[in-house]
Chains A and B, each alone.
Chain A
Amino acid sequence: MAVQPYGVIATFNTAPELYHAAEQVRDAGYRHWDCITPFPVHGLDKAMGLKRSIVPRISLAGGITGFITGMTMIWWTGAVDYPLIVGGKPLFSPMFAFPVSYELTILFTAFATIIGMFLVNGLPRHYHPVLKYDHIVRGMDDTFFIVIEARDPRFNLANTKAMLEKIGGAAVTELEP
């Protein structure tokens, strides 16, 4: 018995073709599938039925951590660990601690956003069956692909291929795992 392929890939030449095909794949009930596009196609998330990204929640957590870190650090170093009166000013005040805490809020948010984006996307992942596809360089350039994975419960090699061809996909090919 032949090795089960990773999935099948179909080529679309224009963004509108891909968009309408994606709507049909979504409506056919597939869940483990993806579009490969050289740039973020506006509205494709909706056509694919994707939910809103969860990255903002990670960013928020990072921002809160940053602000608390700033305030705590300035309070602990200035008022607890080594209290030192400078210019008759209080040992701690949220007023003078604010600029640094504000910058740390932004710094931690930035790191949380980027690390969060990588984690949610499962990157870095330098090996992927899609990247082994011969024409993937076109997918980074000017061509669009739809990939339906074999692990999808509705996946059936013959039927899925036929469906991709029916919705306008060209060069429907099996991807090696």
Chain B
Amino acid sequence: MAHASDHAADAPAILSEVKPAVLPRATLVENNRSFNWITEKICGIIEGKTPTWWWVCFILACFVASFTVAGITYLVITGVGVWGHANPVNWAWDIVNFVFWIGIGHAGTLISAILCLLRQKWRTSINRAAEAMTIFAVVCAAIFPVFHVGRVWYAWYLFPIPNSNVIWQNFRSPLEWDVFAVSTYGTVSVLFWYIGLIPDLAVLRDRFFNAGNKIRSFLYGLFAMGWRGSNRHWSNYEMAYLILAGISTPLVLSVHTIVSFDFAVSLIPGWHTTIFPPYFVAGAIFSGFGMVLTLMLPLRAVYGLQDLITQYHIDCMCKITLATGTIVGYAYGIEFFIAWYGANPYEGFAFINRAFGHYAWAYWIMIGCNVITPQFFWFKAVRNNTALVWILSIFVNVGMWFERFVIIVTSLARDFLPSSWGYYSPSIVEIFTFFGTFGVFSVLFLLFIRFLPIMPMAELKAVTPQADVHGGHGAEGKH
């Protein structure tokens, strides 16, 4: 890249005396691939014959997804009582799973929005798949609160739509804030994803047209909106993309903040803490990067995308997982410290009970997976071992699920009065419903990798060396 020398002409005079070292920039597309190679590689995945493994995975995913369908159907026919929660644990797996899936989605927005604003160009090869992951995770998340309302056909009461009771929603409630936060998050994620897809859909439109497949050309073309690569359009497009990145950044931070308000605004010991918003956001990004690694590493191997998702990309993702995982570990420590320092016996009991009470097994799984696992990413040898990174990413996913379980269930299971204490276990219907959401997620993700470009071709081309219009003139410092 020519940037270092580009700015040499207008740099302060002192720089010529101290001669700062020019840091080499990491190569984002390896082996000096051409623009055409990128197009062929990404479009080839869609245009080629459906691979056998895809059908195997798809049928398996449909089978797993049927567990959710069965669980939900049984719940709708019978009632919410088929789930295992009862006094005093009235929030259990449903909310755990909701927060778990929403959290996973957050890495997608972090990659597409925050890293875009920070000009982290390595995001380009993973952002499309990560955004898809966000949308599908929000779909899975939404299943739980929507069906937890009981009579799901009244779920529209959550929105301020005039109804026959004339009464309106209670906007003082964090649960109502959550309705707006999550539905805005889902909508904006879809819009952001779609905007990114438009230029790539135009590529597919023209390629299918030339290949004589008029139906697919028409369908891709319909959504490509007549995109023709005009630079006058690119100018507005880039601006719109930047603004969407700019508003998605406070959005993603606010969504998990508001999710944490569901707990923090209440008075339950173990929930009523001011550390929740930042701690939840860090945890969400941590779990999301775990999921990105879980999804992208097999995809990279299956489709031979090593030149596009390089070791540098894996390093970056591991380091973010390490950083956010360490923040989460720090938050666990601070929670304990405040429980002691706050001198509130109920708060103190809640935390001692978490670590040494009946749910201690869940607590130590959480600590093991969330605090210890990411520490392996300090070592380059671990980051270079793709199989090991993948296994560690699974531990991160498991750990973050247990974090929500520990927070929600342990606090509720020990009510203020010992006479109301209880122990929660999930029912088989809950277990099936949650297990099935992995199938729902996989079905959606498999459809995505089959029919849509898994990487943003235009953005990938823009970060290659040959896209730099000053490439040949950089040495002379010419603009």
Q: Which residues of A contact B (CB under 8 A)?
A: 14-16, 18-19, 34-45, 47-48, 50, 52-56, 59, 63, 73-74, 77-78, 81-82, 84, 86-87, 89, 96-97, 99-100, 102-104, 106-107, 109-111, 113-114, 116-118, 120-121, 123-128, 130-131, 136-137, 139-142
Cβ of A96: which chain B residues have Cβ within 8 Å of it? 171-172
Asked if B207 lies at the interface with its beta carbon under 8 angstroms from chain A, I say yes
- A to B CB contacts below 8 Å, 29 in the list: A16-B469, A39-B467, A40-B238, A42-B467, A44-B231, A50-B231, A53-B236, A55-B239, A55-B240, A55-B243, A84-B168, A89-B172, A100-B180, A103-B177, A103-B180, A104-B184, A106-B248, A106-B254, A107-B187, A110-B191, A113-B247, A114-B240, A116-B240, A139-B229, A140-B199, A140-B202, A141-B36, A141-B39, A142-B461
Q: Which of A50, A86, A116, A142 has the most CB of B within 10 A?
A: A142
Cβ of B469: which chain A residues have Cβ within 8 Å of it? 15-16, 18-19, 41-44, 47
With A121-B232, A141-B203 in contact, do A106 and B250 touch (Cβ < 8 Å)?
yes
C-alpha gap A44/B467 in the complex (Å)? 11
A141 near B160: Cβ-Cβ < 8 Å: no
- Find B230's partner among A34, A103, A118, A142 (CB 8 Å cutoff): A34
B232 near A16: Cβ-Cβ < 8 Å: no
With A55-B240, A82-B168 in contact, do A109 and B225 touch (Cβ < 8 Å)?
no
Chain A, Cβ-Cβ closest to B479: A43
A40 near B462: Cβ-Cβ < 8 Å: yes
**Whole-angstrom distance from the CB of B158 to the nearest CB of chain A?**
12
- Find A99's partner among B160, B177, B232, B234 (CB 8 Å cutoff): B177
C-alpha gap A81/B468 in the complex (Å)? 59
Cβ of B458: which chain A residues have Cβ within 8 Å of it? 38-40
Chain A, Cβ-Cβ closest to B471: A16
Cβ of B467: which chain A residues have Cβ within 8 Å of it? 15, 39, 41-42
C-alpha gap A111/B184 in the complex (Å)? 11
With A16-B471, A99-B254 in contact, do A106 and B202 touch (Cβ < 8 Å)?
no
Cβ of B171: which chain A residues have Cβ within 8 Å of it? 74, 77-78, 96-97, 100
Chain B, Cβ-Cβ closest to A119: B236
Asked if B216 lies at the interface with its beta carbon under 8 angstroms from chain A, I say no
With A38-B461, A113-B240, A124-B226 in contact, do A77 and B169 touch (Cβ < 8 Å)?
yes
B243 near A15: Cβ-Cβ < 8 Å: no
A77 near B168: Cβ-Cβ < 8 Å: yes
Asked if B195 lies at the interface with its beta carbon under 8 angstroms from chain A, I say yes
Give the total of B residues in contact with A, Cβ under 8 Å: 70
Cβ of B468: which chain A residues have Cβ within 8 Å of it? 15-16, 42
The A interface is mostly helix, strand or loop, or mixed, namely helix
A106 near B251: Cβ-Cβ < 8 Å: yes
Cβ of A111: which chain B residues have Cβ within 8 Å of it? 191
Chain B, Cβ-Cβ closest to A14: B466
Cβ of B222: which chain A residues have Cβ within 8 Å of it? 126
A131 near B228: Cβ-Cβ < 8 Å: yes
Asked if B227 lies at the interface with its beta carbon under 8 angstroms from chain A, I say yes
> Which 3 residue pairs spanning A and B have beta carbons closest together?
A142-B35, A77-B168, A19-B469
B195 near A114: Cβ-Cβ < 8 Å: yes
C-alpha gap A52/B236 in the complex (Å)? 8
A37 near B243: Cβ-Cβ < 8 Å: no
**Whole-angstrom distance from the CB of B209 to the nearest CB of chain A?**
8
8 A Cβ contacts from B371-423 to A: none
A82 near B167: Cβ-Cβ < 8 Å: yes
- Find A100's partner among B176, B191, B232 (CB 8 Å cutoff): B176
B228 near A15: Cβ-Cβ < 8 Å: no
**Whole-angstrom distance from the CB of A62 to the nearest CB of chain B?**
10
- Find A50's partner among B221, B232, B459 (CB 8 Å cutoff): B232
C-alpha gap A40/B464 in the complex (Å)? 12
A110 near B231: Cβ-Cβ < 8 Å: no
